[in-house]
Amino acid sequence: MIYVGDAGRVGDGVNGHHVYPVRCSLFGPSITEVDRRYSDFAWLHAQLAKTCPGCILPPIPGKVVGILHSREFLEARRIGLQKFLTNVAAHEVLMHAPSFRQFLQASTVDLSALKAKAKVVNDPKQALTNWFGKAVQKFS
């Protein structure tokens, strides 16, 4: 069972965002609950695309920037995110992806660290900078 709850607002102004409580009982008898923002769902979608290239991924709702999020918008997004997770859980390959389990079980801090690590690995400019930095250190 996976359930995405109603969005709650965290922070104010430009730094504010919405989080969705995600409850899950897929990996054992206990129910886990984590708060996830839209960018976390987008990260999961990208990770699944990268690690399961032969699989057809269920879509996530599109990102909308620069508008006030009405209750109707947030509810439609919640339903779309719920469908996404439910379809991933029903897929015999996607449900076993490490990123899916991490998304559902990792703390907010741990998931942020995973996202940051994935961003560095996937960023070609950062990879080149890291390689160059290591090469310079060898000759220093």
pLDDT digits (tens, 9 = 90+) for 53-105: 999 999 999 888 766 678 899 999 999 999 999 999 999 999 999 999 999 99
User: How much is the pLDDT for 126?
Assistant: 47
Query: Token pair 């609950």 is at which residue?
Result: 33
Residue for token pair 């919405």: 18
Which one-letter amino acid corresponds to residue 87? N
The pLDDT of residue 52 is above 70: yes
Tokens representing residue 45 in the block: 């979608």
82 neighbors 106 (Cβ within 8 angstroms): no
In the chain, the domains with their CATH numbers are 2-109 (3.30.1520.10)
Contact by Cβ (8 Å): 73, 28: no
In whole angstroms, give the CA distance from residue 75 to residue 77.
5
